[in-house]
């Protein structure tokens, strides 16, 4: 490779480095924004969650349609209903763009493991997931476009409305979501069942109450009275709970995507620096060899 070729290669790598560095800074800014968004929504979301736990802990007469195994618990005998196959719905949260390492791949891989050979209603958040599943021949029932890059309570409300409408109309009897969550600086793909609600998850607060602890600054009140009934209050809270949960998931996924892109672009920038140093060293060697050859030719010409 000649000097000119090496010089052009160095220029090209430097231009690429500018892009990867800029993308790193943008993702870092959006990652910080996502953390603030999540902190802002947590108090409201946890207040609803604690209220629902309070109802389940102190009110045995809750017969909500949203509770898991409700028919068995309240001795509602319907063999025909039990024999019906479960109509599962899976929501997959990916990004709208690539260049974020294995972020999208890990979510899609987990979703395919869950789907297996079953027939499921597939809902996709994110352009990357939508394109992948359509290309692979999956039936994508609903597409929530551009929601991944702009997680808002309005978008979360629209998604939760679709979820609740499908569940209430009997179009599906189990809804789960696959997304990525940040645990410190580690990203993990999570699978969470949104509906029906699992009572055991709510009842986990009982052990905390025995020790007199608080949950996110909210203490459960044993003397709370709910009007007109605990069931109606519970059913009213469920849509808000689902909306808050979906919003927190969207923000978690948003933060995870940009953290993954930060790491990918940081690695790309570091590799570009190493390549520039290597090419610069090679350029100097070629240049030195060229100068040495020219000097040798001059000396040889002078001695003739």
* pLDDT tens track for 162-187: 999 999 888 888 999 999 988 777 88
- Cα three-residue angle 189-193-196, rounded to 5 degrees: 175
Helix or strand holding residue 251 (H, E): helix 230-303
Rounded CA-CA distance 59/2 in Å is: 81
What pLDDT does residue 269 have?
A: 93
Would you state the structure tokens that stand for residue 243, as one six-digit string? 């909306």
Distance linking the first and last C-alpha atoms of the chain:
32
Mean pLDDT in order along the chain per 10 residues (304 residues): 86 93 91 82 72 67 69 42 66 90 92 88 91 89 79 89 90 91 84 83 51 46 67 81 87 90 92 93 88 82 69
For 126, other C-beta atoms within 10 Å of its C-beta total: 27
Q: Could you tell me which CATH class the domain 24-262 is placed in?
A: alpha beta
Determine the pLDDT at residue 221. Answer: 53
Residue 3: what pLDDT? 84
What residues have CB less than 8 Å from 265, skipping those under 6 apart? Answer: 20, 21, 23, 24, 27, 99
Among 227, 206, 205, smallest CA distance to 46 is for 205
What pLDDT score does 189 carry? 93
The DSSP bridge pattern shows strands 121-125 and 88-93 to be: parallel
So where are the chain's domains? 24-262
How is residue 92 annotated by DSSP? E
* Res 64: pLDDT: 76
């Amino acid at each position: 490779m000649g000097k000119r070729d090496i010089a052009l290669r160095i220029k090209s790598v430097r231009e690429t480095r500018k892009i990867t560095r800029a993308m790193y800074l943008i993702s870092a800014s959006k990652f910080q924004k996502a953390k603030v968004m999540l902190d802002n929504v947590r108090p409201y979301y946890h207040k609803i969650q604690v209220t629902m736990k309070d109802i389940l802990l102190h009110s045995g007469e809750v017969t909500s349609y949203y509770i898991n195994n409700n028919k068995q618990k309240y001795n509602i005998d319907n063999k025909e209903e039990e024999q019906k196959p479960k109509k599962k719905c899976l929501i997959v949260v990916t990004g709208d763009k690539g260049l974020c390492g294995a972020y999208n791949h890990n979510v899609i891989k987990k979703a395919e493991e869950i789907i297996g050979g079953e027939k499921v209603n597939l809902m996709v958040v994110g352009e990357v997931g939508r394109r992948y599943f359509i290309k692979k021949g999956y039936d994508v029932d609903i597409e929530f476009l551009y929601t991944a890059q702009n997680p808002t309570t309005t978008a979360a409300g629209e998604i939760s409305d679709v979820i609740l409408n499908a569940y209430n109309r009997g179009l599906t009897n189990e809804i789960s979501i696959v997304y990525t969550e940040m645990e410190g600086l580690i990203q993990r793909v999570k699978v969470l069942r949104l509906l029906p609600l699992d009572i055991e998850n709510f009842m986990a607060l009982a052990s905390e109450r025995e020790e007199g602890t608080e949950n996110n600054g909210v203490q459960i009140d044993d003397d709370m009275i709910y009007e007109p009934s605990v069931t109606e209050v519970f059913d009213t809270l469920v849509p808000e709970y689902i909306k808050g949960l979906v919003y927190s998931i969207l923000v978690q996924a948003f933060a995870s995507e940009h953290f993954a892109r930060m790491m990918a672009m940081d690695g790309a920038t570091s590799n570009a620096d190493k390549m520039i140093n290597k090419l610069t060293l090679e350029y100097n060697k070629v240049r030195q060899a060229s100068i040495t050859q020219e000097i040798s030719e001059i000396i040889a010409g002078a001695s003739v």
